[in-house]
């Protein structure tokens, strides 16, 4: 089928929304946001308000301002998550370097026997990527190492500082010896399977945030392993049988909240998140939150 829909001017875009039943309280403001946010981008936020997807008719009472509130909430949610994920990433980087460096020496990353290949990662390619990054990196501490020392990689505690979150997740998950993986996961009181799975999941969520993708009601493509021991997070996570419930943000936010409690006891993530929902009038059920989420241990203020 050939695509034959014409490009619309901003006034034509607004007229189409009104034809489909959307109420617009402030037309100049609506035109401003259509111009600066893109009709197609905003469409992801008014889709849940459609009564019939085939005709794109909106439910009675749907307002442009409500759709915009969901967009603005999502934007601020991504910024809040980037801040929280940064804390986790920096902490895990440090403990990976500390535990593996103290066990196997400053150049542990050059010891192939410490790492196991899989169908999605192998040591040879992983190391080659790091070597390229070191050669092209312009950070002063990396340049100093290249100028002063003969080893192809800086010590692990320096090399981790130029790893992406995705790289870090892969290097940790491919540690060959369980005792090495456990040395890192014990810092956070988690089973190594859960931590590794969650780090991979969190690196994907971080990419959504960094690329300004919709997150609010997204069904995440990558689930993560739930804890075996119900005493660890079990009272706060949702283990609903429905596949879609486990792919929503609730479990992600809850596990992130748990890690923040381990890393920074004075963080205000829970407070900021709840204030954000209240300010924009967001229904948490769209993010997979159970009805009793406020009474679950990690979410009690």
Helices (H), the chain: 10-19, 27-37, 39-46, 64-104, 123-136, 140-148, 156-159, 165-173, 178-185, 192-210, 243-246, 249-263, 269-280
- The answer to whether residue 4 sits within a structural domain is no
Q: What is the reported pLDDT for 237?
A: 82
Write the DSSP assignment of 79-96 as a string of letters. Answer: HHHHHHHHHHHHHHHHHH
Question: Which residue among 39, 62, 85 closes a domain?
Answer: 62
Query: In the chain, how many domains are there?
Result: 2
List pLDDT tens digits, range 96-141. 999 999 999 999 999 999 999 999 999 999 999 999 999 998 889 8
Question: Which residue among 45, 62, 79 closes a domain?
Answer: 62
Host domain of residue 54: 10-62
pTM, rounded to two decimals: 0.92
Please answer whether residues 196 and 181 qualify as being in contact, where contact means their C-beta atoms are separated by less than 8 angstroms: yes
Q: What is the reported pLDDT for 59?
A: 96
| CA dist., res. 141 & res. 154, Å (int) | 9
Are residues 14 and 132 located together in one domain of the fold?
A: no
Are residues 37 and 96 located together in one domain of the fold?
A: no
- The answer to whether residue 52 sits within a structural domain is yes
Are residues 99 and 57 located together in one domain of the fold?
A: no
- The answer to whether residue 1 sits within a structural domain is no
Q: What is the reported pLDDT for 230?
A: 63
Low-confidence residues of the chain: pLDDT under 50: none
Are residues 57 and 200 located together in one domain of the fold?
A: no
Are residues 172 and 140 located together in one domain of the fold?
A: yes
Q: What is the reported pLDDT for 265?
A: 83
Please answer whether residues 168 and 160 qualify as being in contact, where contact means their C-beta atoms are separated by less than 8 angstroms: yes
- The answer to whether residue 3 sits within a structural domain is no
Are residues 92 and 16 located together in one domain of the fold?
A: no
- The answer to whether residue 288 sits within a structural domain is yes
Are residues 36 and 166 located together in one domain of the fold?
A: no
Q: What is the reported pLDDT for 78?
A: 98
Question: Which residue among 62, 88, 103 closes a domain?
Answer: 62
Are residues 207 and 226 located together in one domain of the fold?
A: yes
How many Cα atoms within 13 Å fall on the side-chain side of residue 50?
A: 14
Are residues 113 and 31 located together in one domain of the fold?
A: no
* Distance, C-alpha 244 to centroid of its chain: 17
Across all residues in the chain, what is the average pLDDT? 93
| CA dist., res. 13 & res. 189, Å (int) | 52
List pLDDT tens digits, range 171-180. 999 999 999 9
| CA dist., res. 216 & res. 248, Å (int) | 9
Are residues 26 and 127 located together in one domain of the fold?
A: no
- The answer to whether residue 139 sits within a structural domain is yes
Are residues 156 and 294 located together in one domain of the fold?
A: yes
Are residues 270 and 212 located together in one domain of the fold?
A: yes
């Amino acid at each position: 089928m050939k695509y034959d829909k014409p490009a619309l001017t901003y006034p034509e875009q607004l007229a189409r929304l009104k034809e489909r039943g959307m109420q617009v309280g402030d037309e100049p403001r609506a035109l401003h946001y259509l111009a600066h946010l893109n009709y197609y981008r905003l469409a992801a936020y008014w889709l849940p308000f459609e009564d019939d997807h085939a005709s794109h008719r909106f439910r009675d009472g749907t307002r442009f301002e409500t759709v915009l509130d969901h967009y603005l909430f999502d934007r601020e949610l991504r910024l809040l998550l980037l801040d929280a994920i940064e804390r986790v990433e920096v902490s895990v980087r440090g403990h990976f370097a500390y535990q593996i460096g103290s066990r196997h020496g400053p150049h542990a990353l050059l010891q192939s026997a410490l790492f196991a290949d899989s169908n999605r990662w192998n040591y040879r390619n992983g190391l080659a990527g790091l070597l390229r990054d070191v050669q092209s990196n312009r950070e002063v501490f990396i340049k100093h190492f290249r100028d002063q020392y003969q080893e192809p990689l800086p010590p692990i505690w320096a090399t981790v500082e130029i790893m992406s979150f995705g790289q870090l997740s892969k290097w940790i998950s491919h540690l060959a010896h369980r005792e090495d993986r456990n040395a890192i996961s014990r810092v956070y009181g988690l089973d190594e399977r859960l931590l590794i799975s969650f780090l991979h999941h969190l690196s994907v969520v971080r990419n959504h945030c960094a690329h300004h993708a919709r997150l609010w009601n997204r069904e995440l493509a990558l689930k993560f392993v739930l804890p075996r021991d119900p005493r660890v997070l079990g009272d706060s996570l949702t283990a609903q049988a429905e596949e879609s419930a486990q792919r929503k943000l609730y479990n992600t936010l809850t596990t992130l909240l748990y890690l923040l409690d381990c890393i920074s006891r004075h963080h205000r993530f829970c407070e900021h998140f709840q204030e954000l929902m209240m300010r924009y009038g967001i229904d948490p059920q769209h993010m997979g939150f159970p009805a009793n989420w406020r009474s679950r241990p990690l979410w009690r203020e």
